[in-house]
Every structure is written in C-alpha cells, then in structure tokens.
Structure 1
Amino acid sequence: MIPADTPYKIIKYLVKLSKEGALTKNHLSDKFIIYLTDRKFIIETTNSKNKFTITESFKKKYSNEIYPIFQKCNSFIKKHQIENLENYYSVDDMEKLILINIEKPTKLSLQEILSKYFKSSKHTRTNSNLANAIKTILKIDEFVEDKKDQQFISVLYPKNKTRFIILCENINRLRAKRHTFIEFWYAGGKNTKQLQFIPKPKHPIFYLFDWDFDGLNIYIHIKQNYFQTLTAFIPTNFQSLMEKREEVKHHHSKWKNNNALLQLNEIEKTIATLLIQTDCIIEEQKILLTTENLNNNSIK
C-alpha cells in the first residue's frame, strides 16, 4: 500500500518510470523511494548506474494502486489549474483538496478549513499556494476573515514629517526600516475597497507594485476609483529588472490582453508594452528605493 504522506511528485515520477521503462535517478532522499530501492521494487538499469527501472515485483504490488491515484489527482489538478502544488504536497493533501471540492466549505475561514481538513493551521497565510488553491477550488476571491481585513490599511510612518506616500501592493515593504520622510501604506493587494474611506492624501502618492497583468490592473483601478493623483513608482533601470514570467517561481499572473495600456501615461506605457511583448514581469521586491530611483520619481 502506498503511504498517504507520499509526495504527489513521487507518484508522478513512478508512473513515468513505469511507462518509459527507465529514468534518471531522482528523489533519492524520499523515504518511499528509499523503501522501494531497499526492497528491489526499483533497481539500477543494467546499462547505467544513473538510471532506475521497475521490477516485476513493483508491477505486481503497486501497478493496480499507483495508476488510479495518479489519474485521480492529475485530472483534479488539471481541472482546477493548480499545477503549482504538484511539487510540494502529498497524495493525502490532494485527497483533502478533492474532499473540499465536494463539500464546498465556503462559509468557513481559512483557519477553520485547515483545522477541519488538514488537522493543522501551519499554512496560515491567506495568500499561500495552498490557500490560493483552495480559493480556486471553491471559486471564491477571499476567505471569510479576509472581508474583515478590508476595513483598514496598514501604515508605516516615517521618522520625520511625511513628505511623500508610497502605497504598496505587498506588505513586505512595511517590514523594512522606517524611512526618513516617506510614509508607506498597505491595503491588501487586490483587496483595496477600504481605500474609498481614506481622505484625499495631502502629499504626492505613488504606487509600488508588481509590473504584471494583475498589478497594472490594480493600479489602474485604484487610480480611477480612489486616488486620481496616484502615480506608478518608476525604476530607472527597469530593463535590468525584467524576468521571464514563466521562470518566476509561484507567479501566476499571465498577460491576458493589453487593455491596460490605454490608461497609462507614456513612461508607464513604454514599460508595460515591453513587458507584454517579451512576456516578462518586474517583481515589486526588485524595485529598490535607492537615491537614484527616488530622484527619478522626484522624491527628494
């Protein structure tokens, strides 16, 4: 019997090994792979010590079990487009996600879902890969507790009098050292409804965000609905910060269209156009608040 805590990626590897007959050795530290090799269910090929092959004993004991597990999990993953979980979660985790899909606990908070189905709340962040997968499966934009978060914003005040405000898409910037004269705001990524209750800013306000499809559209939404004077924070060396979208780990915002270009100024449009054409993004964390970048945005 295959252990429930076996990582799904191991199941996927063994299925591929069964189909192809031989594969380069992989996952050598995994306890199920160790178990299989110790008991000669998988062995080195006669032609290469760097490759595995399965034995008849593996076929007799595991073939009737491993394929149904793979087919069930694989079809579920493909249906909900949660491929980013494949390398990090077990067969048992996948079964719990399937159960969540069946029971549809849409009125539970993330903590309640984790406690009920996973008997743990170790994945506490509402924007973790697991949390995002659960939201996708349940077809919800936010968990119950997220709605309460939309009543306030987080603010990091400067050491001295505020001269500029930078609204951040991600909260990590507020965990950095306090700036001398820049006030940092965080409203919650896509969840920006609470901004409607903030009085008109008395200082120039900039938006610091991921230059991707979602980030640009959030920026435009905030500018059109809440702060008409909002300006994107522009890095001087933006081309050196560009990364291929598909190569950025855990990044899922795809360029669906170029409609955002119509709402941007010339500098913003230049950056966004190049990103779309090359299928690249710029992560917010790569945009440093150097003197050069601050001067480029007339923040001094």
Structure 2
Amino acid sequence: MNWIELRALNCLYINKKVKLNNTLVKSGEINYLINSLRVLDKSHKTIFTLDGYSEIYENDYLDNYNGYEAFLSDHGLLKPQLRFEESDIKKLMGLKRDMDTGNLEPLRQQIIKNEATVRVVSLMFFKNEKYLLGKNALIDAIKTLLQIEKLADDKDQQYKYVLECKTPKCIILCENIDFLKRPTIFRSNNIELWYAGGKNVNKLDYVDTRGLSVYYSCDWDYDGLFIIYPLVKQKIPSIKLLTPNGIAKGIEETEHNSKWTIKDRNINGLLTRHQQGILKKLIERDQWIIEESNDLLKILN
C-alpha cells in the first residue's frame, strides 16, 4: 500500500466514507476489503464502510497508521502530495532509529566523504540501485534523516565502504550493507567489514588486504552464489565463502526475485562439500538464506 491508500483507510475509519479516485480503484487492499471481507462497498464516486470495518481497522491497521503519521509529521515529511509506499515509510523509520543509536554514523561519514550517488544509496538501503531514481521526495527524506545535503548523480562507482576497527584480525566483504550498520559488535571483535555494492566488483582490482584473511558474506541465492561470488573470487582469489547459519526462507513466500535457474551445484568447484550440500537442499526446496539472518561471529568461530 502507498500513503494514499493508508490515509483513505483511516479516513474511512473516522468519516465512514471517502471519495473514490484512481489509486483507490486499483488498490489491492481496498478491493480485498470490498470483495473478500465485505466490510467496504463502493458506489460510482464513493467508498463507504459496512458492519465490521471499524473492528478490522482497529485490529489490523490503526496502530501502524498512527505510528506512520506521527513519524512523517515529526520529520516534516507529511505533505499533501505524499505517495510513499508503506515499505518506504518503514525503511525511513529504520534509518531514523539507526541514526539515533549512532549505528549509521560511520556509514554516513563515508557517504559524505565518498560523495555517494543516488544509485549507491539506493543499493545500500533498498538493495536495488535503481529504486530511488525519479523518487525525489523519497531521496529528500533520506537526505533529511541522514543529515546529508546532497547526493551525487554519477554512475561510475570506484570506491568501497569500510567499517574500520583499530586492530583488524580479518576482513569480511559483505554483499549487502546491513552488517556495516552494526559497528559495535564487529569492532569489539576486531573484524573489518567491506561493502562494494553487490555486483559492482571492478573496484576490487585495487584493494589491499594487508595480508589479512578475507571472507565473503552473501545472500545464498542464485545471484549471490552463481553471479557475484565467482566475480569476487576472480578479484580476490584468497577470499573464502562463509557457510551460512541463518534460517532458510521460501523464495515464493518472501517474493524474492533471485530464483534458482541452474542445476550446477558445484559453481566451478568454488564450494566445499558441506556448502554444496546446503546449496542442494536450498535448490530442491526452492529456498534461500538472507545474508543478514546469519550470525557472522558464530560462523567465523
């Protein structure tokens, strides 16, 4: 749902009716409430409530809406033309929490130092370098929450992001940015984290590992294992793939886009026998393991 739908559902709760518009006509959520739950109905120009709507709204929607509205209002983001998706609002709320705890400060400093682009920030926080393109209101919201004046718009990214520690014992190259947002646990264990940006591995031609052991942490899905890891291995031949300990999730169940389309489970000999066994089960069960669901410290130990 986007904010227009969320606001309409709240308006229905308060006023018992709302004016029909094109967004609401196409809304899957509202059509579900009309056709399946039968707690809403519509005429040519109006959606109106039926018996049972208030109870369902209070149980399933009200607390979330109040939280979203308060957050958007408190940070000057609640504007008449707002069309944020609900997932975008949740992401912004997460950014704010990480800023308040200080977890994002090292990453924020590197974003400023490296003059990060919209594509880089999009890949960091939305796992898709094109997600933010053209979404100026969402870009402005992210800049506001990160307290950053501007983002560059070039496409050629030749730098990596590093969560440094004073006396690193090893380096972990992460496919996604999430672990770099948790500085305390890794710094206290003398682990340096790198983030290069998913498939954007050409910059790894120039890295200096300083003689440290290097490990690779990734999503155990088709893209992470069959595309990105072999590219990384070409750039850093000594790198070792970490064996996941996270819980596998169904690809369809999580609406994940990286699907198993190949049955070569050896990946040109890049996996250990144990890792091949894990991969075999994931493919057979149509599952994947999300990188951030792993406990990296336990894996290393």
TM-score bracket, normalised by the shorter chain, equals 0.5 to 0.7
- Find the counterpart in structure 2 of residue 261 from structure 1: 266
Given candidates 257, 271, 276, the residue that maps to 2:278 is 271
Given candidates 190, 201, 218, the residue that maps to 1:209 is 218
Structure 1: stretches of 5+ with no match in the other structure: 51-84, 90-108, 126-143, 296-300
- Find the counterpart in structure 1 of residue 248 from structure 2: 242
Change (3 A) 1:205 1:112: closer
Query: Is 1:252 aligned to 2:257, yes or no?
Result: yes
- Name which one, 1 or 2, has greater alpha-carbon Rg: 1
Given candidates 13, 26, 29, the residue that maps to 1:8 is 26
Supply the distance in 2 between the matched residues of 1:261 and 1:32 (Cα, whole angstroms). 59
Query: Is 1:281 aligned to 2:299, yes or no?
Result: no
Query: Is 1:37 aligned to 2:48, yes or no?
Result: yes
Identity of aligned residues (%): 28
Change (3 A) 1:176 1:261: same
Which deviates more, 280-289 or 256-265?
256-265
Supply the distance in 2 between the matched residues of 1:260 and 1:112 (Cα, whole angstroms). 36
Given candidates 209, 213, 219, the residue that maps to 2:229 is 219
Supply the distance in 1 between the matched residues of 2:171 and 2:141 (Cα, whole angstroms). 29
Displacement of 1:155 after TM fit?
0.5
Change (3 A) 1:88 1:35: farther
Given candidates 117, 138, 162, the residue that maps to 2:168 is 162
Displacement of 1:25 after TM fit?
2.6
- Find the counterpart in structure 2 of residue 25 from structure 1: 38
Displacement of 1:274 after TM fit?
1.1
Supply the distance in 1 between the matched residues of 2:132 and 2:292 (Cα, whole angstroms). 28
Preserved CA contact (<8 Å) 1:7 1:88: no
Structure 2 residue matching 1:165: 3-state secondary structure: strand
Which deviates more, 208-217 or 252-261?
252-261
Supply the distance in 2 between the matched residues of 1:276 and 1:5 (Cα, whole angstroms). 38
Preserved CA contact (<8 Å) 2:173 2:215: yes
Structure 2: stretches of 5+ with no match in the other structure: 1-18, 54-83, 89-129, 143-151
The runs of 4+ residues in structure 1 deviating greater than 6 Å are: 30-34, 85-89, 109-112
Displacement of 1:226 after TM fit?
0.2
Q: Please tell me the residue identity of whatever aligns with 1:155.
A: V
Supply the distance in 1 between the matched residues of 2:263 and 2:223 (Cα, whole angstroms). 12
**CA RMSD in angstroms, aligned pairs only:** 3.9
Q: Please tell me the residue identity of whatever aligns with 2:170.
A: F
Preserved CA contact (<8 Å) 2:160 2:196: yes
TM-score (norm 1): 0.54
Supply the distance in 1 between the matched residues of 2:47 and 2:219 (Cα, whole angstroms). 44
Supply the distance in 2 between the matched residues of 1:212 and 1:157 (Cα, whole angstroms). 28
Change (3 A) 1:88 1:166: closer
Displacement of 1:265 after TM fit?
2.4
Deviation by residue 1:78-132 (Cα, 9 ceiling, x = unmatched): xxxxxxx99989xxxxxxxxxxxxxxxxxxx9767334xxxx345878xxxxxxx
Query: Is 1:293 aligned to 2:279, yes or no?
Result: no
The alignment of Structure 1 onto Structure 2 pairs a total of residues equal to: 197
Displacement of 1:270 after TM fit?
1.5
Supply the distance in 1 between the matched residues of 2:296 and 2:183 (Cα, whole angstroms). 12
TM-score (norm 2): 0.54
Preserved CA contact (<8 Å) 1:7 1:87: no
Change (3 A) 1:32 1:248: farther
Query: Is 1:177 aligned to 2:187, yes or no?
Result: no
Given candidates 115, 118, 135, the residue that maps to 1:114 is 135
Change (3 A) 1:2 1:36: closer
